[in-house]
Amino acid sequence: MRSRGFGELRLGAASAPLWFVGGRVGACPVCTLGLLQAGETEAGGTGSPTRVGCFVGALGAVWGPQPPGATVRCPSQTQSLTPRPSMQVMLVGDSGVGKTCLLVRFKDGAFLAGSFISTVGIDFRNKVLTVDGVKVKLQIWDTAGQERFRSVTHAYYRDAHALLLLYDVTNKASFDNIQAWLTEIHEYAQQDVVLMLLGNKVDSTQDRVVKREDGEKLAKEYGVPFMETSAKSGLNVELAFTAIAKELKHRSMKLPNEPRFKLHDYVKKEVRGSGCCRS
Amino acid sequence: MESREDGRDWAYRVDPYGFERPEDFDYASYEAFFSRYLVVLTRRAIKWSKLLKGNNGIQKSLKVKRYIRKGIPNEHRALIWMIVSGAQANMEQNPGYYHRLLEGEKNDKLVEAIKTDMNRTFPDNVKFRKTADPCLQHVLYNVLVAYGHHNKAVGYCQGMNFIAGYLILITKNEEESFWLLDALIGRILPDYYSPVMLGLKTDQEVLGELVKMKVPAVAELMERHGVMWTLVVSRWFICLFIDILPVETVLRIWDCLFYEGSKIIFRVALTLIKQHQAFILEATNFPDICDKFKQITKGTFVTECHSFMQKIFTDPGTLSMATINKLRETCREKLLSQG
């Protein structure tokens, strides 16, 4: 539905300086996902690139030497991989579990206690992640957690490629509501939506009321990857989004002989504990 | 000397309502705008003083409507909002009611929901900080708790915290804020905040229909990329443009909202969309469209509140209440039939 036509890139005339001259690397202006890399410049030449290529996933430089003014096609487009221009990731969970904080920590690497406002309706932030050398644009939707907003937000599920479902480990009610959220998600989200359960605020060891095992157990019951996070300390925040991005990238651009990406295994391997046992 | 410098610096960083200006605030263009706007403000202040000195009081009339569209001076804002919205009359007819609500028994769930939002309402406003003296958080808490027990069908809905917050900043009075909140939620706005939020969903669809009529290219773009209106405008409706548009612009919109009713929201939305039509149409995909709708609420077009308010009454063209009511009816029926 949202796939794009075959992308074409017209190389500038020899005299026009191109931004990717001289071995610099940038995002492919055609597919916006791959890396565009200029190769060698002809010795004593004018500085116009002789080799450019879009490196999407396992694909290498494809275009080879090109005369100025030539029109080339981005390989990601010609190979009908049709990556989406952006992936929509939606944050859901009860009011006050820390959805906005998690997003801001991921987006800006910051956590300023007492600087967050309650989210009303829906808000967006964009972030580009590089996954295995490929740029993946995430558009992250931050939603209102209050129950009455669910009747508004469930309309958005349809367009979400991934969902991060949060609860607050210091708030039992937010954990108890996870089942209701999952029911809601199964009803309204796409069947193949990427879903992950996050227990947030693990930095508050004193106030913790939901044990990690409880979260793990629930996640296992529903077959959902799980990790504990802290927007305050940054624990596993990057990982949660990276794991989602990896899964989405693999799904959207999988090559025939590439092994399947296993989100569950990846999360298990990479996840870090909250450090409660070390102290 | 040094402390005076600090004082000046502080006064600049915080606007007259107590909101901290963002680090990237464009002081130069704001000052340029404000020096021009000051002339308008002065002229309006003189006109309003004369009007208020007259013996007729403030009654609904073409003259008052015109005056309100040109902006109520801040010193009269609370009073005029109270009168034209009917809040004043309600408050006078129900003496002591507000305080009885506060003294009455409380619904724990409601109180809990309100408490969750206390630290999350205007953390960027120095008057709402826990450390502020007086701290407006207590006032806000009282107004919301009282309202939740007064209008049990609505209770508390996120968004009301911001609206009540603005009312408190303007009236500087708890009880008046309560009655103004009641005027907005109970009479002026359709049921935006009740648990099913049918009024909100309806008005988002109504806006979609109006865009189809008045800015068809944008409606077509939304349709082509499957972007639901609720995704990009829900906050406009629920927060009545708080945190979307600059404070001064929001207050000017509210001036008209209290006098003319919820139709104003559509005028503002349509003006934003129509003015930026070409810009929105540059979007080539779903996320782009979402971004554009965020960007059209920023910049000089919306900061220049006086010319912006003139535009909302000309740019979208005629917009009769009859049209809106009819659209509301059909959209509501459609939503109800969809379940």
Same-domain check for residues B243 and B324: yes
Same-domain check for residues B129 and B170: yes
Same-domain check for residues B211 and B252: yes
Same-domain check for residues B184 and B254: no
The pLDDT value given to residue A133:
72
Q: Judge whether B295 lies within some domain.
A: yes
- The per-residue pLDDT for range B326-338, each reduced to its tens digit, is 999 999 999 999 8
pTM (2 d.p.): 0.85
Same-domain check for residues B233 and B321: yes
The pLDDT value given to residue B286:
87
CB-based contacts of A206: which residues, under 8 Å, 6+ apart? none
Q: Within 10 A of B47 (CB to CB), how many other CB atoms are there? A: 13
> Of B161, B194, B284, which has the smallest distance from its Cβ to A118's Cβ?
B161
Same-domain check for residues B204 and B315: yes
Q: Judge whether B13 lies within some domain.
A: no
The pLDDT value given to residue B70:
98
Nearest residue on chain B to A85, alpha-carbon basis: B285
Q: Judge whether B15 lies within some domain.
A: no
Query: Which of A115, A118, A142 is most worth mutating to test chain B (most B CB atoms within 10 A of its CB)?
Result: A118
- What domain count does chain B have? 3
CB-based contacts of B116: which residues, under 8 Å, 6+ apart? A95, A96, A118
| B13 lies within 8 A of chain A by CB | no
| B29 lies within 8 A of chain A by CB | no
Same-domain check for residues B319 and B228: yes
Interface of A with B (CB under 8 A): 1-2, 4, 85-86, 88, 95-96, 114-124, 126, 137, 139, 144, 146-149, 151-152, 155-156, 159
Q: How far is CA B33 from CA A39, A231, B27, in A?
A: 50, 39, 10
- For residue B109, pLDDT beyond 80: yes
Domain-terminating residue out of B141, B168, B188: B188
The pLDDT value given to residue A2:
28
The pLDDT value given to residue A73:
55
Q: Judge whether B160 lies within some domain.
A: yes
- The per-residue pLDDT for range B214-223, each reduced to its tens digit, is 999 999 999 9
| B9 lies within 8 A of chain A by CB | no
Q: Which residues of A touch B154 (CB under 8 A)?
A: none
- Say if residue A29 is preceded by a cis peptide, omega within 30 of 0: no
More confident residue, B59 or A13: B59
The pLDDT value given to residue A15:
33
- The per-residue pLDDT for range B270-326, each reduced to its tens digit, is 999 999 999 999 998 888 999 999 999 999 999 999 999 999 999 999 999 999 999
Confidence of residue B185 (pLDDT cuts 50, 70, 90): very high
The residue written with tokens 């990479």 in the block is A270
Averaged over successive runs of 10 residues, the pLDDT of chain A (279 residues) comes to 36 36 46 50 41 43 47 49 70 96 94 87 90 83 94 88 97 97 94 95 96 96 96 96 89 62 87 61
The pLDDT value given to residue B12:
75
DSSP B88-149: HHHHHHSTTHHHHHHHS---HHHHHHHHHHHTTS-TTBGGGSTT-SS-HHHHHHHHHHHHHH
Q: Judge whether B87 lies within some domain.
A: no
- The per-residue pLDDT for range B22-53, each reduced to its tens digit, is 888 889 999 999 999 999 999 999 999 999 99
Q: Which of A155-159, B246-250, B263-267, B270-274 has the lowest mean pLDDT?
A: A155-159
Range of the domain at B47: 26-75
Q: Judge whether B298 lies within some domain.
A: yes
Residues A250/A277, Cβ–Cβ less than 8 Å: no
The pLDDT value given to residue B4:
43
Q: Judge whether B205 lies within some domain.
A: yes
What is the number of residues in chain A? 279
The average pLDDT across B80-100 equals: 97
Q: Judge whether B12 lies within some domain.
A: no
The pLDDT value given to residue B5:
45
